[in-house]
Amino acid sequence: MTELQYVWQVTAAGLGTGLLYGLVGIGFAVVFNVSGIINLAQGEFSMLGAMLTLFGIKTLGLPLLLAAVLAIAAVTSLGIVFERVCINPKKAFSIQAAIIITLGAAIFIRGGAMIAWGKDHHSLPAFSGQGSARVLGAAVPFQTLWIVGVTAVVIALLAWWFRNTLFGLAMRSCADNRLGAQFVGVNVRTMVTASFAMSATLGAIAGIVAAPLTFVWYEGGLVLGIKGFVAAILGGSGTYLGPVVGGLVLGVLESLSAGYISSTYKDSIAFGLLILIMAVRPTGLLARPR
Amino acid sequence: MNMLARAAAAVLLIAGLGSSAQAADPIKIGFIGAITGYGSFLGDPEVKAAKLRVKMINAAGGINGRPVELLIHDSEGSPEKAVLAMKRLITQDKVTAVVGPDLSSTVRAVMPLVEESKVISFVMTPVIKPPSGSYVFGIYPIQEYAYEAELIWLKKKGLTKLGVLASTDTTGQEGVKFLRELAGKHGITLAVENFNLQDVDVTPQLLTLQRGGAQAIMAAMSGKPFAVVAKGMKQLNMKTPLLASTGAVTKTLGELISGIEPEVLIAPTLKVMVAEQLPDTDENKPAIMELIKSFRQEYKEESDLYTAAGWDATEMVLKAYAAAGPDATKMRDWLEKMPRYVGAVCTVTMQPTDHHGCGPEGYVLVQFKNGKFVLEK
């Protein structure tokens, strides 16, 4: 293996992992933009999506696509119910309180999943087998190609939704100025509910496509959630491309520091660089300062 | 006179009642394990086996006529929580013996407290070697024996360059330390890369090892992290044999690595994992079969090395208590000279200098083939 091939393979591995972080990060961005809430249960939505898909395939004997669609629908409903029951009824809407509530929900979902599915790790079969494709000489797992495709579709759909539908425009107006949106007749609370529904959908999708690479277990949402959150902060959550760019940067940093500097300190190196980047660009890589 | 006799009778009666109530007082034994969290794959079966053993002993009349009560604490895999649990067991529950902890990081954390407070701690990890006179005893043959078995296997196959992937926690780093000590003896050179247990991708580390010319990869971790290594090798199309550590051989490994099985997967494990393949002449087989049968009856689940560990550790602690309790120092002295014990993990002959008591014959090497572990002969 030549030096160039090696660099490219290490980078490609980082890009694959990073994309995953980015996909989870988009879910954070949707909720944050509309409501200002950081949904700490985002990773748990992903875990639940993967768990329910696995349940559909292994226990109910459904085909992958149907199981995935049902799982996404179930997690989305849960997102709506969660927002309606736990966050919406609060008379004085307080962002801090809402964030703490999402933390509680995260712990609750984790515990529930532990009771329902036990503490073992499970694996979801890769959508098109466990092999890998050659991309410019680097081995890229088929599943990563799935993640690339799904991320592209998700970003395209989000762009269309927020630009071309009245509902999407109303959500964007909340992101811009909540009070102003209220004045022109946008029901902000409905928009917050909608943002939670969308983030649950996105979380479930991310969890399902990631599952063959990350394995599924009740605490699996934790790491995905943290890395996704970092991706969203790093990239800036103003655009939906932001978290993806943030995720890719994080993934490549991790991968290159493991491959070139030291696998022992790779997390310290990656996160150290993140702090540096945030110091230079506190609004995130892609966001325009307001 | 009559009054006096009655009073005396009453006093005797009360005293009698008191002593009989005391006799029925349960013997309190502590249990600390990583029941939830990333170590749950070992803590959960351990605690189930310990509970079952206690239940069976109580059903048979308890220890010296007293029932046994297991005070269970979950360390969640955190050394801090293990220390807190140990403190509670010592100061509040006043136990003289504790089964556990299990993860080596939690064991290291509680050891100073255990030695200072003089309580028996029967740990369930193969990587800690308690010094002579210690109050810490261990189940499992020590890890060195497992690595040694694998190095001998490599030498037999003519492979001399071993790439090691180690987790950054104590378990991984201890493994590396042992391997470094042993490798030279068997003429094998090592290259070591580390990774974090939470990582979802280790291909950069694997590539570095591959570039260094590793002829086999050893992944010194278990559970999901091990599967992440197997997945990485599959992605990079690496055909080199993958050597696992003892912890990797679990009943769920097959499910976990389905579709990403390495070409050759070798693992050291305990006899309990290949119970049916053992020859009938194997002296541990009866104990193992009893565990498997009882465990299946109670939980409808299969036994593994962790259930065997929980089972034997509880048994030995209770034996020591029955013979020498409730004095921890006497229990320690008894355990150090304990009669040969044929358990479900291995055959134990403790020495003052050997607080594990299992020899290298406690390990068997298995190859993972078509979803099954096949005994390597």
The domain segmentation of chain A, as residue ranges, is 3-115+138-280
A247 touches chain B (CB under 8 A): no
Q: Does B37 sit within 8 Å of A213, measured CB to CB?
A: no
Strands B363-369 and B265-270: antiparallel
pLDDT tens digits, B244-301: 887 777 767 787 887 788 889 998 889 998 999 999 999 999 999 999 999 999 999 9
Phi first, then psi: give them for residue A134, nearest 5 degrees: -95, 120
- Residue B21 — pLDDT band, cuts 50, 70, 90? very low
| Cβ contact A235:A284 at 8 Å | yes
Share of chain B above pLDDT 90, in %: 53
pLDDT tens digits, A139-160: 888 888 999 999 999 989 988 9
Strands B120-123 and B27-33: unpaired
Angstrom distance (rounded) from CA B157 to CA B185 = 16
| Cβ contact B107:B125 at 8 Å | yes
CB < 8 Å to A256, chain B: 204
Q: How many CB atoms lie within 10 A of CB A267?
A: 18
Distance from the B232 Cα atom to the nearest Cα atom in chain A, whole angstroms: 9
Share of chain A above pLDDT 90, in %: 35
Give me the residues paired with residue B190 across strands.
Answer: B162
Q: What is the mean pLDDT of chain A?
A: 87
What local confidence, expressed as pLDDT, does residue B143 receive? 79
A90 touches chain B (CB under 8 A): no
pTM above 0.95, yes or no: no
> What CATH class has A3-115+138-280?
mainly alpha
SS (H, E, C) B320-366: HHHHHCCCHHHHHHHHHCCCCEECCCCEECCECCECCCCCHHHEEEE
Name, of A89-98, A148-157, A180-189, B140-149, the range with top average pLDDT: A148-157
- Residue B10 — pLDDT band, cuts 50, 70, 90? low
Q: How many CB atoms lie within 10 A of CB B67?
A: 15
DSSP-derived letter for residue A288 is P
Find the closest chain B residue to A252 by CA distance. Answer: B204
Asked if pLDDT for residue B190 goes beyond 80, the answer is: yes
Give residue for tokens 């090691």. B164
B37 touches chain A (CB under 8 A): yes
The region of weakest confidence among A36-50, A246-260, A276-290, B339-353 is A276-290
Mean per-residue pLDDT, B192-207 = 86
| Cβ contact A201:A76 at 8 Å | yes
Asked if pLDDT for residue B31 goes beyond 90, the answer is: yes
Find the closest chain B residue to A20 by CA distance. Answer: B200
Q: Which of residues 255-284 of A touch B (CB under 8 A)?
A: 255-256, 258-259, 262-264, 266-267
A1 touches chain B (CB under 8 A): yes
What local confidence, expressed as pLDDT, does residue A75 receive? 96
Check residues A125 and B7 and name the one with the higher pLDDT.
A125
Environment class of B298 (CB within 10 Å of its CB; exposed 0-12, middle 13-18, buried 19+): middle
What ipTM does the predicted assembly reach?
A: 0.73
pLDDT tens digits, A169-198: 998 888 788 888 888 888 888 888 999 999
Give residue for tokens 């009073």. B7
pLDDT tens digits, A197-211: 999 999 999 999 999
Distance from the A20 Cα atom to the nearest Cα atom in chain B, whole angstroms: 10
Asked if pLDDT for residue B123 goes beyond 80, the answer is: yes
**A:B CB pairs within 8 Å:** 99
CB < 8 Å to A131, chain B: 234
Asked if pLDDT for residue B66 goes beyond 80, the answer is: yes
